[in-house]
Amino acid sequence: MDTPAPSHCPNCGSALSLPKPRYCGECGQETTLQPPSVPVFVREFTGQYLSTQGALLRSLLTLLRPGELTQEYLRGRRRHYVLPLRLYMATSMAALLSIWLISVLLPLPESHRHARTYDPQFARHNNLDRREATYLTYGLIVQVGQRAGEFVCRGLPASRCQDLRHQWEQDPQSLAREQALRTTQLSKQAHLLFLLLVPFLALGTYLAYFSRKLSYGTHLVASLHVHAAGAFISLTWSLIFHITAASSNVIMAGSLLSSLLYLTLSCQRWLGGRRWATLIRVLLTMVIWQISYFALYLLWLDALWWRPMS
């Protein structure tokens, strides 16, 4: 049951004209309110993303033309599209959910399953259970494993290293197995790192195009758009990984080259300049981005070793 429209806006208190309009002329809120219900919540959610003359669909289609959405935003056409941060969050969450569903619904090809599973027979064949073997996990700070028959533990609290040493003394093979499991665990979480890389890509283009005297915020808008497109690039390659026999190295290379191409076309469109100069600047940007990614990746790996496996 609808709540009768008041004579004043319930949100900002402005007087409403007669006949009462559907929306307040001052703040834009509806003048006739409905009690909370599931249909109302669904309508409010879809109204944010699917209405406004199809702003979300228009934004997604514009992403297919790298750099165009950034140009439109800088021209001031901001009501015509979903705002950058909102678009980035929507596409990232949709891509992460889709990647999770793909991993649940599509079993990995046989070759991938063997590659990701720790095999004790393989370990014994490669001397991973012998005291003279060498296997180390290198994070940004942490080093854990065995080198030439000696236990190695750096960058962790003394109590944690003591626990790992005790584990190694009891069964060196268990430490090698834990190392493999943590690497697999990290590979499953690696896509979450992309959520943290938006400001680093913006920093890269800001430094590469420093002579343009554009604000960092302008580059941040472009970075949000590039990462919004990158979410679907990652989704596409994740799907390819699950339905083909392509190796993880091929998938990583394909994803990286696709992202590099998109970033190059985006910078060429909204920043302009000679193509060779754009390519050099994009390569500089990607170097900064890759350094940031690997630093975060290694720090994440460090964090995994701080606590025991559950």
- Assess contact for 141 and 302: CB atoms under 8 A: yes
Report the share of the chain in percent with pLDDT over 90: 29
Whether residue 84 sits in one domain with residue 152: no
Whether residue 78 sits in one domain with residue 201: yes
- Assess contact for 302 and 183: CB atoms under 8 A: no
Q: What is the pLDDT of residue 122?
A: 40
Whether residue 202 sits in one domain with residue 236: yes
Would residue 46 count as lying in a domain?
Answer: no
Mean pLDDT of 54-77: 92
What range defines the domain where residue 17 resides? 1-35
pTM above the 0.85 mark? no
Would residue 252 count as lying in a domain?
Answer: yes
Would residue 62 count as lying in a domain?
Answer: yes
- Assess contact for 209 and 67: CB atoms under 8 A: no
- pLDDT bucket at 115, cuts 50 / 70 / 90: very low
Whether residue 216 sits in one domain with residue 177: no
Q: What is the pLDDT of residue 57?
A: 87
- Backbone angle region of 176, left / alpha / beta, with phi > 0 → left and psi within -120 to 50 → alpha: alpha
Would residue 74 count as lying in a domain?
Answer: yes
Q: What is the pLDDT of residues 252-277, one digit of tens each?
A: 888 889 999 999 999 999 999 899 99
Whether residue 78 sits in one domain with residue 126: no
- Assess contact for 186 and 301: CB atoms under 8 A: yes
Would residue 48 count as lying in a domain?
Answer: no
- Assess contact for 145 and 179: CB atoms under 8 A: yes
Strands (E) in the chain, as ranges, are: 135-138, 143-147, 150-154
**What single DSSP character describes residue 78?**
-
Residue 260 to residue 282: CA distance in whole angstroms = 8
Q: Which residues contact 16 (CB under 8 A, 6 or more apart)?
A: 5, 6, 7, 8, 9, 24, 31
Q: Classify residue 137 by burial, with Cβ atoms within 10 Å: 0-12, 13-18, 19+.
A: buried
Whether residue 195 sits in one domain with residue 276: yes
Mean pLDDT of 217-244: 91
Whether residue 270 sits in one domain with residue 147: no
More confident residue, 201 or 18: 201
Structural domain count of the chain = 3
